[in-house]
Amino acid sequence: MEWIAVLILVVSFAVLLLLGVPIAVCIGLATILTMLPSMPLAPALTTEAQRIATGLDSFTLLAIPFFILAGHLMNRGGIARRLVNFAEAALGMLPGALAHVNILAAMLFGAISGSAAAAASAIGSIMAPHMEREGYDKGYSVAVNVTSATTGLLIPPSNILIVYSLASGGTSIAALFLAGYIPGILVGLMLMLVAGWIAWKRRYPVAGRPSLRRLWSTFWDAAPSLLLLVIVIGGIIAGIFTATEAAAVAVLYALILALLYRELRLRDLPRVLLEASSTTAIVLLLIATSMAMSWILAYEQIPQGVSQALLALTDNKILILLIINFVLLAVGTFMDMTPAVLIFTPIFLPVALNLGIDPIHFGIILVLNLCIGLCTPPVGTVLFVGLGVTQTPMTRVLRSLLPMYAAMIIALLLVTYLPELSLWLPRVFGYLE
């Protein structure tokens, strides 16, 4: 490994990021600068252009714009409100009921849409005013909303697990989707425990025991939305269609549902398509430049060097996993999830494989680490969505976020050191021996 290449890459990326350069441009420029000691400028520019084009030339990546469009259709189609009503009917008897409603609704909506930002926006815009009217602290409600919104990145379908499949060299998307269920639900339950404890301590109101009639009626109202999970995941696992085809089915189903609910009109479609296209362009540009950076990492043999250095430091599996978690948690505070997955998967996956860690299990560890980063300043995307939806200053939220961080980190440690939490379902469905 050329340590000068590592130094150029890290320093140039950090400097550009501190100067406020968009992260996709940071990645692209840092990649070119890292190439320069090995080749002249013109070949470096040509090589990066080729790697960007090659990085996007993947049938699997077609699933991402489809799932993004499906998420936008769901966000505008009244699905969030129906999920909130069902969650409120199911959890109204718990201490601090509205916090639990927020968490469950965010888990369901995030799983259906595959987007943490969409979940934070849709559920937060409904729950924040409701919680404020009931006397909940505004910072607490934002903290609950933004942390629970990330569970949808683990509970399938999930765009980021598709990105990890690409970065890891073709890990089964169906197996990754199955592996995300228990860890995603575990994070949600840990957040509910903390939210319930805070609610009991602050004496937040209990909504009261719901009637079975209301529970049944809200369930049937939300059932068509929940059916999307069965269609998409069931279709992939049964081999009826691929993840990309499932994403296209999700778009069609979400469109039909939104039109039937009469909360989306045909004349609204151009705006929805424009919003989805804008989001897709940002995500794919990040993927393209990150793939170029992944190539220079491989060219300079940086993953092998990192693997050798870590294994030379210690051969203790527990300690190395702790180091990897610490690095990924730090990375998540200043880097968006998509480039982080594409850049750090080829660096740390060889280390994990050397330790005998299944790539499916490692993928869940990686994504869960970066989910925490989405809720942390200074870059946390979902955190700023939650702040923007509720018009709440950062200083008011940070104190309430700390116990939520603790809950997520406990869940992370359980997932890291109990691999069956991730591997049991893939094994049951025959993806592992």
pLDDT by residue (tens digit) across 132-165?
888 888 889 999 999 999 998 999 888 899 999 9
How confident is the model over 215-228, as a mean pLDDT? 86
How confident is the model over 62-67, as a mean pLDDT? 85
Position 207 confidence tier, pLDDT thresholds 50, 70, 90: low
How confident is the model over 371-387, as a mean pLDDT? 84
pLDDT by residue (tens digit) across 260-290?
888 788 888 888 899 888 888 888 888 888 8
Position 52 confidence tier, pLDDT thresholds 50, 70, 90: confident
pLDDT at 222 over 90: no
Q: Tokens 């999920």 — which residue? A: 83
Question: What's the pLDDT score for residue 407?
Answer: 95
Question: What's the pLDDT score for residue 209?
Answer: 66
Position 208 confidence tier, pLDDT thresholds 50, 70, 90: low
How confident is the model over 378-407, as a mean pLDDT? 85
Please provide the average confidence, as pLDDT, over all residues in the chain.
86
User: Residues near 188 by Cβ (< 8 Å), separated by ≥ 6?
Assistant: 103, 104, 107, 148, 151
d(CA 125, CA 368): 25
Question: What's the pLDDT score for residue 2?
Answer: 63
Give the torsion sign (CA, 158, 162, 165, 170): positive
**141 within 8 A of 132, measured Cβ to Cβ:** yes
Kindly write down the DSSP assignment for every residue of 109-121, as one continuous string.
Answer: HHHHH--HHHHHH
pTM: predicted TM-score of the whole model, two decimal places: 0.88
Question: What's the pLDDT score for residue 138?
Answer: 87
